[in-house]
Amino acid sequence: MIKKASELVQKENIRIRILIAGFPGIGKTTVGLSAPKPLHIDTDFGATRVNPKHRADTIQPNSYQELLDDLKPENLKEYETLVFDTGGALFDLMKPYLIQQDAKNGKRNGDLTLQGYGAAGREFKRLMDKAYYELKKHIVIIFHAKEEKDGENTRLRILIEGKTKNDVWQPMDLGGFMEMQGNERTIGFTNCERYFAKGTHGIQGIRRIKELQAENKNDFLTKLFGEVQKNIEKETEIFEKEKLAYEALMESFDFEHTEINELMKQIANTNHILTSKVELRAKFKEKVKKEGYVYDSETKRYKLPPEETEVKKEEESKKTEDNEEKSSQEKQEVKTSALVVYDKEVKKYVPDNSEPAQQLEVSAQ
């Protein structure tokens, strides 16, 4: 089903998908667990490296099928966020599963074939869609970073095998690289020469991550998600006003009764809102095609072709002749029959049901 741009307004049940990358030991897992009511999916088996004060409920699956069995609605009622830690270990967990599904996905040493990496990308997307759309959870996926040489520049990239690194970014709403700048931890959500990142709904640039003290609550991502929510609400409020103006504008055009060249002027001279210009032009083209108009480049106006004009004239002429003939027939009936009278209410001759003497009077007249 096609949705108008004016219908793409999200107000409730807003969930965020975020990718976090950085070097080992920089605190990615702790930041990931700062999301609302997290469940730690510890495919890296590193949960014990997190400060006990900041740990969350955890599953440590030994196989990908075990992970799928755990991710059922009845097991997840208490949680709002699924934290996959790490993405690289998650793909490693997938390998035996994918090879079991199709032997062509794997090599003898257990690595994936080119076909297998394609299957891994599709399975990753399916898993993310399941978590987001079916289970209705926020998603945090954590990746280790590595440095790659690009000419004289050194860039940060997520640590993952094969072409699947292109698949993991696609479903994400946000993506940030964590780094140390001096003595401070930061996370960047804007692309730069050093790394690829992703920002939406007003989340851009570099954010400082405060060092957690004993009295501090681990809520960096919870606050960030709240900021996204507020920004979306502001965007929605602005859009609602534009939507009302858009609807009023669209209703102001009368395509059925307005002359074609007048319509063209109206569309050209209107201050358009949202998708009104595209939609009105499309309706205009449809009218031109349906009614057979052609554009005259000399007069810069639309007109009907000569043959179309003649046909219309002939139709109008025939209609006039038919009306005149019908009127003549009615008059003739009056002359040849004394049994009709003219009814002023219906404005036509009708049978006379009066007495014979009265009928004679009509006939005499």
Which class does domain 13-218 fall in?
alpha beta
Query: Which pLDDT score, from 0 to 100, does residue 238 have?
Result: 77
Domains of the chain, by residue range, sit at 13-218, 252-303, 306-364
Within 311-361, strands assigned E span: 340-343, 348-351
pLDDT in tens, 193-235: 889 899 999 999 999 999 888 788 999 999 999 999 999 888 8
Alpha-carbon span 289 to 40, nearest angstrom: 60
Alpha-carbon span 19 to 177, nearest angstrom: 9
Q: What does each of the 365 residues of the chain score in pLDDT, given as a tens digit?
A: 666 555 555 656 789 999 999 999 999 999 999 999 999 999 999 999 999 999 999 999 999 999 999 999 999 999 999 999 999 999 999 999 999 999 999 999 999 999 999 999 999 999 999 999 999 999 999 999 988 887 777 788 898 877 777 789 989 999 999 999 998 999 999 988 889 899 999 999 999 999 888 788 999 999 999 999 999 888 878 777 888 888 899 999 999 899 999 999 999 999 998 889 999 999 999 999 999 999 998 899 999 887 655 556 666 677 777 777 776 666 665 555 545 566 667 666 666 555 544 444 444 44
DSSP labels, 254-317: -TTTS-HHHHHHHHHHS---TTHHHHHHHHHHHHHHHHT-EEETTTTEEE--HHHHHHHHHHHH
Q: Which among 175, 140, 147 is positioned nearest to 31, based on CA atoms?
A: 140
Query: Which pLDDT score, from 0 to 100, does residue 12 have?
Result: 63
Alpha-carbon span 288 to 259, nearest angstrom: 11
pLDDT in tens, 272-298: 988 899 999 999 999 999 999 999 988
Alpha-carbon span 272 to 245, nearest angstrom: 10
Q: Which among 203, 202, 199, 206 is positioned nearest to 184, based on CA atoms?
A: 206
Burial of 334-354, coded b for 16+ CB within 10 Å and e otherwise, reads eeeebebbeeeeeeeeeebee
Query: Which pLDDT score, from 0 to 100, does residue 365 have?
Result: 47
Burial of 286-319, coded b for 16+ CB within 10 Å and e otherwise, reads ebbeeeebeeeeeeeebeeeeeeeeeeeeeeeee
- Identity of residue 133: Y
Polymer length of the chain: 365
- Identity of residue 210: K
Cβ(56)–Cβ(38) below 8 Å? yes
DSSP labels, 182-214: TTEEEEE-S--SSB--B--TT--SEEEEPPPPT
Alpha-carbon span 142 to 28, nearest angstrom: 7
Phi-psi region of 25 (alpha: psi -120 to 50; beta: other; left: phi over 0): left
